[in-house]
Homo-oligomer: A and B are copies of this chain.
């Protein structure tokens, strides 16, 4: 069977779709490497945006994903949730391949991120001040966009309006 490359050339529509999926994400599925076993392990996390637009999450040291990311920051995040109706595989979604940078509770950077995060996630007030919570900014290396059956694109951080740093 011949090799088929299903990745289309990136166009303005693909960029706009990727930006919208990131803008609308309130949660996502995070894949990490489980320490010791190397198993690719997926969990749900809350998703916000850092002041510079990067994906941002607030996670607890008690969770498996936080322990995994502290051992190995390479991860990926799936955003773009299907609604209750229709075929979920026709709903667009995007995988962001990332590295996690932590800002622990004790770091000077925590307070400004705390104020910023509570603007979009006010219910996090219930646990944001527990000592086991940290922020993790997800630095995006690339994004695999699936706009529905047969519509695959590979986007850069720049395509999503993010700087690569």
List residues of chain A with CB under 8 Å of any chain B CB. Answer: 1, 4, 6, 26-27, 29-33, 38-46, 61-64, 74-78, 80-84, 87-89, 91, 93, 95, 97, 123, 127, 131-132, 144, 146, 149
Contact = CB atoms under 8 A, between A and B. Distances in A.
29 contacts: A4-B62, A27-B82, A27-B88, A29-B29, A29-B31, A31-B31, A31-B40, A31-B42, A31-B76, A32-B40, A33-B38, A39-B74, A40-B40, A40-B74, A40-B75, A41-B95, A41-B97, A41-B144, A42-B78, A43-B93, A43-B95, A43-B144, A44-B82, A45-B89, A64-B144, A81-B81, A83-B84, A87-B123, A127-B149
Contacts of A32: 40
Given A4-B62, A64-B144, A87-B123, A76 B38 contact: no
